[in-house]
């Protein structure tokens, strides 16, 4: 699957605005959809993603809750048991942790526990990742907690169009979706017309953002723009890099990734989350299992360090940037010699 080109005539629209539009359209189309969270009502959320929703749909459809994340998620589970389709907002990645028991022990397990009698069509929106100069607890990449929890879908957009489409798909899903919003992309703009109809993609489909032949860069959410910039810069080195945007960590679209890596023979996974136990390890393992005879080099990972998220004045050292991605690309055994001095 390849990305459709954005309409050039459409106005530049920030990613956060597309999320807002997705929530508005979901509320308008399905009376079962309810938005809940801290400050989502009058204020419109600290990132203004729910701006105007309470005014348009009323406090009962867009509800300011007490400040208690486990209570919010637990109540949303009860609402889902009664047939509603709650969409809850966690204010920041690290503030979602109090709700983890409700997510892991109940939202993720209720359908399975009840053999389908009580599905959990709820969406947990979580702004995640760094790069906004946030102080401690405001920049975690917490996706590995969620991907390690069977029963959850874990989805993250990297483009304005996907912000809309994937959020609509998440809300329409009959399973719980952890919808990770790359907060540093909230203000990034692309031509996108909110008023024209937009396709709602199927969850669990990766997309090739940039076709290439030399190697595959695999990213998701905030690392996709980094991969695209690296691919652009790599042209000067003579590398034609393909960029795959996973869009969904669970379900994982192995076929798109495997097809790309079998074509290029080389792969680098890029994410902000810590390397140890991060999604990159899972991808590297699956690629080595399924692409072994096509690989010209070990699958490399460019990730955050295995450290608590740094203070804002040091975060640039932690975040995987273009240079670090290019360094990894340079180590992809271009001379096809395992014993080469370059190989590390």
Partner 1 sequence: MTVLDRSGAQQSSPHPAPPPAWRPAGDAASLLPQDTPYRVLGSEPLPVPPALLGDGPRPDDAELLALHGHLAKGRRYNEQATALTKQGSLAVYPSSTGQEACQIAAALALAEDDWLFPSYRDSLAAVARGVDPVEVLSLLRGDWHSGYDSRATRVAPLSTPLATQLPHAVGLAHAARLAGDELAVLALVGDGGTSEGDFHEALNFAAVWQAPVVFLVQNNGFAISVPLAKQTAAPSLAHKGVGYGLPGVLVDGNDAAAVRQVLSTALGRARSGGGPVLVEALTYRLEAHTNADDATRYRADDEVAAWRAHDPIALVERELTARGLLTEAHAAQVGAAAEELASDLRGRMRTEPSLDPADLFAHVYARPTQQLRQQQAQLQEELAAAAEGGPR
φ and ψ of 324, to 5 deg: -65, -35
Contact positions with partner 1 (CB under 8 A) in 165-184 = 173-175
Question: Is 212 within 8 Å of 240 (Cβ atoms)?
Answer: yes
Q: How many of the chain's residues bind partner 1 (CB under 8 A)?
A: 48
CB of residue 67 to partner 1, shortest distance in Å: 10
Contact positions with partner 1 (CB under 8 A) in 86-125 = 86, 98, 101-102, 105-106, 109-119
DSSP states along 149-175: STT-EEE---SHHHHHHHHHHHHH-SS
Contact status: 79 vs partner 1 (CB under 8 A): yes
Nearer to partner 1, 73 or 87 (CB): 73
Stretch of 4-12, 163-171, 248-256, 268-276 contacting partner 1, by CB under 8 A: 248-256
Structure tokens at 344: 């590390």
d(CA 210, CA 202): 20
Contact status: 77 vs partner 1 (CB under 8 A): yes
Contact status: 237 vs partner 1 (CB under 8 A): no
* From 106, 138, 153, 271, active-site residue: 138
The Cβ of residue 258 has, within 10 Å, a number of other Cβ atoms equal to 18
CB of residue 155 to partner 1, shortest distance in Å: 13
φ and ψ of 114, to 5 deg: -105, 20
Question: Is 212 within 8 Å of 238 (Cβ atoms)?
Answer: no
The Cβ of residue 12 has, within 10 Å, a number of other Cβ atoms equal to 11
CB of residue 321 to partner 1, shortest distance in Å: 31
d(CA 68, CA 291): 46
d(CA 248, CA 302): 19
Nearer to partner 1, 65 or 156 (CB): 65
Q: What binding mask, one character per residue, do residues 303-332 give for partner 1 by CB under 8 A, x or -?
A: ------------------------------
CB of residue 116 to partner 1, shortest distance in Å: 5
Among 3, 10, 81, 343, binds partner 1 (CB under 8 A): 81
Contact positions with partner 1 (CB under 8 A) in 36-65 = 60, 65
d(CA 309, CA 138): 9
Question: Is 61 within 8 Å of 234 (Cβ atoms)?
Answer: no
> For this structure, is 138 an active site residue?
yes
Measure CA 286 to chain center. Answer: 20
Residue position matching structure tokens 């906004």: 132
Q: Catalytic site residues?
A: 138
Residues lying near partner 1 in the complex (CB under 8 A) are found at 34, 60, 65-66, 68, 70-71, 73-84, 86, 98, 101-102, 105-106, 109-119, 150-151, 153, 173-175, 204, 250-252, 254-255
């Amino acid at each position: 699957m390849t990305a459709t080109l954005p309409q050039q005539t459409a106005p530049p629209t920030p990613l956060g605005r597309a999320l807002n539009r997705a929530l508005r359209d979901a509320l308008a189309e399905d009376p079962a959809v309810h938005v809940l969270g801290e400050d989502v009502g009058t204020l419109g959320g600290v990132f203004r993603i729910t701006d105007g929703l309470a005014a348009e749909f009323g406090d009962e459809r867009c509800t300011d809750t007490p400040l208690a994340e486990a209570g919010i998620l637990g109540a949303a589970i009860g609402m889902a048991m009664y047939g509603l389709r709650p969409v809850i907002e966690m204010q920041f990645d690290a503030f979602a942790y109090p709700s983890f028991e409700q997510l892991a022990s109940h939202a993720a397990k209720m359908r399975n526990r009840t053999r389908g009698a009580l599905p959990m069509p709820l969406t947990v929106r979580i702004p995640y990742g760094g790069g906004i100069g946030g102080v401690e607890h405001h920049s975690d990449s917490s996706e590995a907690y969620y991907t390690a929890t069977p029963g959850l879908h874990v989805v993250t957009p990297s483009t304005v169009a996907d912000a809309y489409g994937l959020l609509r798909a998440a809300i329409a899903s009959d399973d719980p979706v952890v919808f990770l919003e790359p907060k540093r992309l909230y203000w990034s703009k692309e031509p996108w017309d909110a008023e024209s109809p937009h396709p709602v993609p199927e969850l669990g489909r990766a997309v090739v953002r940039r076709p290439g032949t030399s190697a595959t860069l695999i990213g998701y959410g905030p690392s996709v723009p980094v991969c695209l910039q690296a691919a652009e810069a790599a042209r000067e080195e003579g590398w034609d890099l393909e960029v795959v945007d996973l869009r969904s960590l669970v379900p994982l679209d192995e076929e798109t990734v495997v097809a790309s890596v079998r074509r290029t023979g080389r792969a680098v996974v890029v994410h902000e989350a810590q390397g140890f136990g991060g999604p990159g390890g899972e991808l590297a393992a699956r690629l080595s299992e399924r692409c072994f005879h096509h690989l010209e080099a070990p699958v490399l990972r460019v990730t955050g360090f295995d450290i608590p998220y740094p203070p804002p004045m040091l975060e640039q050292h932690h975040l995987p940037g273009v240079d670090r991605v290019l360094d990894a690309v340079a180590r992809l055994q271009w001379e096809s010699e395992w014993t080469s001095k370059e190989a590390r």
